[in-house]
Amino acid sequence: MKQPNKEKVAITLPAPLYHKLRKKARQQGLSLPEFIQTKIKLEPSEPSAHASLPLKQLIRQTRAESTSPEARLDFFSHGG
């Protein structure tokens, strides 16, 4: 069974607006996040070719070409 997207978004609201929205949500029997989701539709700020790909295909297309130890970043050597 496919799970719904569990991405989290933080929205900072002025206190008077927060309390007004929370009151309206309670009047409709909703939580504040549910109420806000009925009012706005969250979308990516920029369209991306990868945004519509299934996860397996996204991983396949963005996977690193090389897995050799020499291809990894070395954060511990100081170069010279």
pLDDT per residue over 25-73, tens digit each? 999 999 988 888 888 776 666 777 767 778 787 777 776 666 666 656 5
Provide the CA 37 distance to its chain's centre, in angstroms. Answer: 15
Residue pointed to by tokens 């309670």: 26
CA atoms within 13 A on the CB side of 13: 14
> Quick one: tokens of 59?
């991983």
This prediction has a pTM of: 0.43
